[in-house]
Amino acid sequence: MNGFPNCSANYTKIWNHYLVLALGIPQLTINVVSIIFNCTVIFTRLATRDLHKPISILFCNLAVSDLFTSFSGFWISMLFITNPDITIFGSQDMLAPYSLYTTSILSTIYNLVSIGIERYLAVAASMRTRFRVARNHSIAVVFISWVLAFFLGCLPLMGWNCLQEESNISVLYSPFCVNYLVFIAMPNVAVAFLVPLFTYLRIIIILRKRKLRMQACGQATGTYRSAETQVARTSISIWLLALVSYAPFLAGVAFDAANQRCHTELYPGVYIFRNCTAMLITLTCLGNPLLYTLKLRALGNRLKALRGLSAGRACAIGHV
């Protein structure tokens, strides 16, 4: 595990001023744009009174999670610009924003997983089950997601940090401990990859089977085929967005756990990579409003309209 016993204790200025601005200004800009995007999503949904629908509750909560991620990312970016060396050596000032950032990311992951499961249940309901996701179910999921995210994200504030203990301190995300980062990152990133992969693949497979049924009934399938293609493209985009956003962070945690070198030996390449992973995560907060609030809603309306193409139960296509 990491530690600094063999490293120089002379923690003087490390970051180059121009490099700090080159990394910090784009980070601030992305966070500000993301805050504006997600505030727009929240206000729009509240203004249209669309929150009586279960999926709308999940969409709105996703925007809230992304808003907190962007806000805490903005806070971290400001700390980085004003005092970049504390993001290397760690301090008490970094503990709260890092914990809030972790909490928000975890909440976003749980929301993405919940939305994928809800979409799958909505599509599969007419085939294998009569279970429907109700408004109370969505509220319960939102509550449980935030409780779990706050508990896991705030563990460093409750004592699981390495402000005093350097034998297990993270080189990339000080003052977090390496074992805490592994504990948080490995299972949650795996969930972010695997559950949406399963749910959206199942949605595509179900739609394909229904298209074959419609063809067997001699019904026109041009409109359905177009909707099916759009579902597939959106599903792939959702999964790729999660992959691009969280895979670099997971790679950074794995490197952190295996690393035995000092800060000065890792500067600047590894720390530039660390900052870029933060920007990629924030880009997810920009992509989510577009993919989930706009595209999935349009897909839901489009597939709903396809009901009229069905002649009987065997050819029913359900709705997303």
- Sign of the torsion angle spanned by Cα atoms 153, 154, 158, 160: positive
| Helices vs. strands in the chain: H and E counts, helices first | 10, 0
Instruction: Pick the more confident residue, 304 or 26.
Output: 26
Tell me the pLDDT tens digit for each residue of 168-192. 888 888 889 999 999 999 999 899 8
Label residue 305 by pLDDT band (50, 70, 90). very low
Q: Please, are residues 317 and 214 in contact by the beta-carbon 8 Å criterion?
A: yes
Nearest CA among 162, 3, 173 for reference residue 86: 173
Which residue(s) pair with 169 in the sheet?
A: 177
Which pLDDT belongs to residue 300? Answer: 52
Q: Which CATH superfamily is domain 17-308 in?
A: Rhodopsin 7-helix transmembrane proteins (1.20.1070.10)
pTM listed for this prediction: 0.83
Name beta bridge partners: 177: 169
| Least reliable range by pLDDT among 113-127, 235-249, 251-265 | 113-127
pLDDT reading at 59 higher than 70:
yes
For residue 300, what are its two tokens? 């839901």
The confidence band for 226, taking pLDDT boundaries of 50, 70 and 90, is low
Half-sphere exposure (Cβ direction) of 288: Cα atoms closer than 13 Å = 37
More confident residue, 93 or 32: 32
Show the tokens assigned to 36.
């504006």
pLDDT at 259: 83
* Residues 216, 252: Cα–Cα separation, whole Å: 51
Q: Which two tokens stand for residue 8?
A: 């120089």
A 10 A CB-CB count for 180 gives 19
Q: What is the pLDDT of residue 6?
A: 60
pLDDT value at 311 more than 50:
no
pLDDT tens track for 243-267: 888 899 999 999 988 887 877 788 8
Q: Token pair of 148, please?
A: 């779990």
Confidence of residue 208 (pLDDT cuts 50, 70, 90): confident
- Residue 76 three-state SS: helix
